Each structure stands twice: as C-alpha cells, then as structure tokens.
Structure 1
Amino acid sequence: MRIATTIFLTDQTITPVRLARELEQRGFAGLYLPEHSHIPVERTSPYPAGGVLPPEYGRCLDAFVALGQAAAVTERLGLGTGITLVAQHDPIDLAKQVATLDHLSGGRFTLGVGYGWNREEAEDHGVDWRTRRDRTHDALALMRALWAAEPTAHHGRFHSVRASAAWPKPAGGAPRILLGGAAGPKLFAAVAAHADGWMPIGGRGLSETVPALRAAWEKADRDPAALRVVPYAVRPSAGKLERFAELGITEVVAQLPAAPEPEVLRTLDDYAQYL
C-alpha cells in the first residue's frame, strides 16, 4: 500500500522543500496540500470537525506554489491537492496551473477536488453557494477541453472557452482527479460522472460506502478496475491499513501535524513503520 501524506503548510511550519526531500528520502508516496484563500473572521459556517477552527486554516500556503517547490527538489514523490476549491478559481487559469505543474513534475500530480464548506469564503469569490457543485463540474469540463490534444471549445452554464491553443498539456493527457465529499448517492453519482475516484476524509465506514460507490460507478458504465478510493487525512494504524487493503484500497493519505520541523519529522519517524 502506498502511504502519502497531507499537511497544512503555513508560514509557521516546516517548509515545502524540507518536507518534500524528507518524504522522498524516507520512501513516502506523496504530498497532498489543502487550500483556503482566506478565512473570513465573521462567518456562520461551522467548522466541519466541530469546535474551534484551527488557526492553520487561515495561514496555509498557496498549494500550487508550495507543490511547485516540492516538485523542483524531488523526482518520484507524488504531488496533489487535498482539496482544490475549484468553484473559487477561474477555470482557465486553474487549467494552466494544473497542466504546468503536471508537465514540470513529469506527470506526478493528482487534482483533489472539493465543493467547500465555508460559505463566506466562497461568497467572497463571487460564488453563489447553491450552485457551487454545478460550477465545479462545469469548470472541470472546461479544463478538460483545454487539456485536449486538439483545440476544443466548451460552452457551459457557468463557464465557456473558445477552441484554443493551450499548452503545456498535462503529462498524461489529464491528471488523475479525485472528488472529496461525504458519502451518499449524490456524491457517488458525481464521482462516476466527473472524476477518477473518491477521496473520503478519515476513512470511517468504508466497508459500507465503497460497495455503494462501486455500484454507482458501474451503473455509469465506468471500468470497475479504474476506480480509485484514497482515504484522506488518516491517522494510520496497522488495523486501519489492513481493513483498507481488504477493500482493495492501494493508497492512503496520512495526516501530519501543522507544526515546525522537529514535530513533523518525529511524526514521519512514527509513520515509517507502515511503509
């Protein structure tokens, strides 16, 4: 099983360069980074995990800039977002960022996609909260048009682009796309329609939800062997990893603390037992 990692990299934590080098040297499979452009101080959106929102949410580095640094100092380490709030981006610009990072890294990039939980953050980007899911799907279709081998137009409900010269292309034609979100028929239909797999937070309840996702996937005439389920922000244990393996899961993203270098390296030492 591939063990990747995720962390809120901030102006107070270990640096992207130092972490990426340590991960590759130690044999970890990848580095996934979350994103928040800003966190409005006055908000009504509750923190999904409950309690007080941790300070790193308002301090996180730009994921693409940080992953670009990580790509430059590694050769094998997988790179990904966990997740990109696609509806908050101009999809033409985002398509260029994704393609550039994937091209420069030699096809090591995974685009994790999410709909978001912070309504106030999204509204500051001009996103109508009720349409964020449809905006996300429309943006993904536009990006795929720009990544196509031949100039391809896209005319959607929210986004459009003329047939265009748009280079570089992602190394493999398009990066792997994983959709995050809570389990349910609506989410699983979206995964089957717009993504290459699912990125569930924490991995609880997968014995029940993975079969339901596989049924939705096959109903959409997708290749059963192509589905990827990548549990995200996991606190690993031998029992969890064994359970995931029984479900056919081959990659897990382990949570690292948003901390200075010594604490992060101690956590990597602890996680090394699972490599």
Structure 2
Amino acid sequence: MRLGVTMFATDLTMEPHELAREAEDRGFVSLYLPEHTHIPVSRETAPPTGADQLPEEYARTLDPFVALAAAAVVTERIRLGTGVSLPAQRDPIVTAKAVATLDRLSGGRVTLGVGFGWNREEAADHGVPWKRRRAVAREHVLAMRELWTAEESEFKGEFVDLPRTWSWPKPAAARVPVLVGGAAGPTLFAHVAEYGDGWMPIGGAGIREALPALRDACAAAGREPVPVVPFGTLPSREKLDYYASLGVEEVVLRVPAAGRDEVLPVLDGYARTYGVPGR
C-alpha cells in the first residue's frame, strides 16, 4: 500500500515545500494541501469539525497551487495534490492554466482533489448559489478538462460559456487525475463516475458499505470501478490492513498543522511503523 500525507498548511506551520522534501525522502508518495480562500468573520455555518469554534488554521491556509509549485521545485517524485480544492469558487479558465502549468513544471505529478465546500458564507462571497454549488463545480471541472485536452477548446453550459479558444500550456500528463471528495451517496457517486478518476472520502469511514453503490455508478456511466483514496486518515495497523482488504492502494495520512519540530517526528513514526521506505 502506498502512503501519502496531508497537512493544513498555513503561514504558521512547517513550510509545505520543506514538508514535501522530507516526505519524499522518507518514501511517501504524495502530498496534498487544502484550500480556503478566506473565512468570513460573521458566519452562520457550523464548523465541520463539530467544535464550537472554527480552528484558526482555516483562515490561514496558503494558496495550494502556489505552495505546491514551491514543493515541485525541491522534489522529484512525490505527487502534488489538492485535498481539496473548491472549483465552484474558482474561475475555471484561470484554474485550468494554473493546474496545467504546475503539472508541466513538475513533470506530470499533479493530482487535483476537488470538493464542494461546507461554508455557505465563503461560497456566497464568490457568488456561488449554495444549492447549485455541485453543479457549478461539475461544469468548472468539465471546462478545465476541455482546456487541458483540446487544441481549440469550447464549452457551453449553464455556468460556463467558453467560445472556441486557445489555451496553453497543456498538462504534461496525458490526463490530470481528478479525485472527488465528499460523503458517500448517489449524488456524489454520480459526479465521481462522470468526471472523476477516484473517490477521496475524508477519514475513510463507511467505505465497505459504499463500494457497491460506487461500482454501480461507474457501471452506469460505462466505466470500470475507480480507486478509493481515504484522505486525512489517522492510521493504525488494523485500519490500513482493513483498507488493503478492500483493494485500497493509497491512503493519505494526516500530519499536524504545526512546525518542523512537531511534524517530523510524526513523519518518522509513520515511516517506521507502517513500512514506508526510509532514506
């Protein structure tokens, strides 16, 4: 089983390019960074953590694409992913170019993890109708696919109207993998089956029960089953063995949103305990 890592990278944590280098040196295969453009101070949306107060790190996140570009410069093999980006809140033309540029400069190492968001106020500031955010995200990803692959791109939908256009660079990879994050359900799996290259469940609970529905959604779309990549996992040997028994090939482990002195011992412990090749 391959193991990656994710950290809530902020202006107060270990620098993400340093984390990428240290993770690669220890044999981890991927690094994922989250996205929040901002956090409105006046909010009605409850924190997704279940806590009374939203942790400060949500308001201090680095831009994931800029941070991953820095990571690309100091690494050679580790995959560089968003976990997750919020495409409904992003201009698809600008984002398509950012992803393609990062993929080209990193030698085809980008994975785009996408989600639909939980913060109504944040989405509203971007002009995203809350009940339509999944539809907006879908069109934005489909439009980006068009920009990444077609010599003359064109897309017409409800939220994106792109006339024939040129857009370079194209990604270095033949296909930028898109992992769709979110809780199991028919709507989520319809998105995965239509435009995703995998499902990224946060934490990974309930995978066994959800797999038949995911396979059915893929079959209905005329596709083979897609990979499942449990994300933000706090590992144990039993948990990783359980994932392996389900056919999971990659798990993304959580490291604390902290400085080097706290993060590196966690990386070393994961590598030592779960058999990640060392330096």
2:273 paired with 1:268: no
| Residue type of the alignment partner of 1:46 | A
2:29 paired with 1:20: no
Aligned to 1:191: 192
Aligned residues: 273
Aligned 8 A contact 2:153 2:167 in 1:
no
Larger deviation: 53-62 or 210-219? Answer: 210-219
The normalised TM-score by structure 1 is 0.97
Percent identity, please.
Answer: 56
Q: In the TM superposition, what is the alpha-carbon distance from 1:204 to its structure 2 partner?
A: 0.8
Aligned to 2:47: 47
Aligned to 1:4: 4
CA deviation string 1:91-110 (max 9, x = no partner)? 00000001011111111100
Aligned 8 A contact 1:85 1:114 in 2:
yes
Q: In the TM superposition, what is the alpha-carbon distance from 1:174 to its structure 2 partner?
A: 2.8
How many Å separate the matches in 1 of 2:16 and 2:188?
A: 32
The normalised TM-score by structure 2 is 0.96
CA deviation string 1:79-131 (max 9, x = no partner)? 00001110111100000001011111111100001000000001011111111
Q: In the TM superposition, what is the alpha-carbon distance from 1:251 to its structure 2 partner?
A: 0.5
Q: How does 1:1-275 map to 2 (within 5 A)?
A: 1-51=1-51, 52-224=53-225, 227-272=226-271, 273-274=273-274, 275=276
How many Å separate the matches in 2 of 1:63 and 1:187?
A: 23
| Residue type of the alignment partner of 2:120 | R
Is there any run of 5+ residues in structure 1 with no aligned partner, and where?
none
| Residue type of the alignment partner of 1:267 | V
Q: In the TM superposition, what is the alpha-carbon distance from 1:152 to its structure 2 partner?
A: 2.3
Is there any run of 5+ residues in structure 2 with no aligned partner, and where?
none
Runs of 4+ in 1 over 4 A off after TM superposition: none
Q: In the TM superposition, what is the alpha-carbon distance from 1:255 to its structure 2 partner?
A: 0.5
